[in-house]
Chain A
Amino acid sequence: MKAVSVEEAVARIPNGATVMVGGFMGVGTPERLLDELVRQRKSELSIISNDAAIPGKGVGKLFDAALVSTLTTSHIGLNPNVQKQMMANQVAVHLVPQGTFVERIRAGGCGLGGVLTPTGVGTIVEEGKRRIDIDGKNFLLETALRSDFALIHAFLADYLGNLAYALTARNFNPVMAMAADTVIVTAEHIVPVGVIAPDHVITPAPLVDYLIANG
């Protein structure tokens, strides 16, 4: 793990990158990294995030600045900007059931080719997918998702990069931290090694590539 400035970390993300962003309705989202993506005008991004948050918050900021070309997500209902950009064909939106979304990412991070889920069988989600019968029950083959970068927000990070999360801000963060080539983390508190007890580490340090240092 390397501690870097937010400017330096975001400078490593090229235009057109595929980026996972942790958080649920902007809770547990690395806001500083998103602000810097907007400031450096990184464009044509393929974003993988549970929802589109709301304008001005979380990944919503990337849509306010029209930096996104593709969004893979489970819900955009509370962000009218994304709905408009989708209708105007400025953003391609791939809607995925939330449980399938997280399992595809988990598979990507765990070396699996995909998962079999009953969710979506017999609905329009099934279109273009393989239906597999196992012991008389129908499942859809949902392929793994990975990304170039994962932007993660933790509550505590220690000097090695071990991470712990708080309350409902954990959500997709630990799963996404497994599924990207480069993992960049912001934390509410950077603490000495040992402050997070071994039992309480959720994301192990070797998964973290960059930790945003305090300014």
Chain B
Amino acid sequence: MDAQSIIARRVARELRAGNLVNLGIGIPTLVANFVPSDLKVFFQSENGLIGTGPMPEQGMAHPLLTDAGGRPISALPGACVFDSAMSFGLIRGGHVDITVLGGLQVDAEGHLANWMIPGKMVPGMGGAMDLVSGAKRVIVAMQHAAKGKSKIVQRCALPLTSSRPVDLVVTDMAVIGFTGGRITLQETAPGVTVAEVMAVTEADLFIPANVPEMKI
């Protein structure tokens, strides 16, 4: 299984019936593909929709119905639309149960950096800062390392997205949590050993006696 599918499948297992969920762009978007058909969750698109459905069939796209990246989507039965003040009221007001976001770095305190690389890439934070500040649960879905360099660092060198720590990090190698304020290896990906995770993790991970394998 490819790295992105491992991450998306594992994150999908965090969703519970009735959850209002906001998925970021990139790997997080793939999570929707792995939600069991009998699990009823609501997906929010922050440009003003709850009830986001899959890409419409060929020829059925509507120019006024898109996701936050401007791509055509569909709306499921029961969907509703609203303006951006309402959309971010839902986000900042703690009404979104889970947000899944991509990341550039997560540090030992659970701080996420995911919106700029000074001097190189300044796309803007979009809705990321509000999502991390306001959602009930923040899950980061990202590759464990980029070009051999750990994205799980002791302290973020890149500008933070929020001072609020994230709740869970799911990578292609591991699930990492912050229970009790301690960065903890909770699971390893299938076929990956604890030693292999530690070898590509810069942060000082706490390793419990028993680290189960990810169920995906």
Interface size class of B (residues with CB under 8 A): 35 or more
In the complex, the answer to whether A98 meets B125 with C-beta atoms within 8 Å is: yes
In the complex, the answer to whether B129 meets A168 with C-beta atoms within 8 Å is: no
Please judge, given known A-B contacts A25-B47, A25-B69, whether A97 and B130 are in contact too, CB under 8 Å. Answer: yes
User: Which residues of B2-56 have CB atoms within 8 Å of chain A's CB atoms?
Assistant: 45-49
Kindly supply a per-residue 1/0 record for chain B positions 54-71, scoring 1 wherever the CB is within 8 Å of any chain A CB and 0 otherwise: 000000001111101110
Kindly supply a per-residue 1/0 record for chain A positions 1-28, scoring 1 wherever the CB is within 8 Å of any chain B CB and 0 otherwise: 0000000000000000000000011111
Kindly supply a per-residue 1/0 record for chain B positions 89-133, scoring 1 wherever the CB is within 8 Å of any chain A CB and 0 otherwise: 001100000000000000000000000000000111111111001
- B63, B66, B70, B84: the one contacting A98 at CB < 8 Å is B84
A80 to chain B, nearest CB (A): 11
In the complex, A138 Cα to B207 Cα: how many Å? 33
Please judge, given known A-B contacts A118-B92, A123-B161, whether A97 and B134 are in contact too, CB under 8 Å. Answer: no
Nearest residue, chain A, Cβ from B113:
A123
Which residues on B sit within 8 Å (CB–CB) of A53?
A: 70
Nearest residue, chain A, Cβ from B75:
A167
B194 at the interface (CB under 8 A from A): no
User: Which residues of A163-215 have CB atoms within 8 Å of chain B's CB atoms?
Assistant: 166-175, 202
Nearest residue, chain B, Cβ from A58:
B70
**B-side interface residues toward A, CB under 8 Å?**
45-49, 62-66, 68-70, 75, 81-85, 87-88, 91-92, 122-130, 133-134, 159-164
**A-side interface residues toward B, CB under 8 Å?**
24-28, 50-51, 53-54, 73-78, 83, 86, 95, 97-100, 102-103, 106, 117-125, 155, 166-175, 202
**A77-B124, A169-B64 given. 5 additional CB < 8 A pairs?**
A50-B84, A77-B126, A119-B129, A119-B130, A168-B64
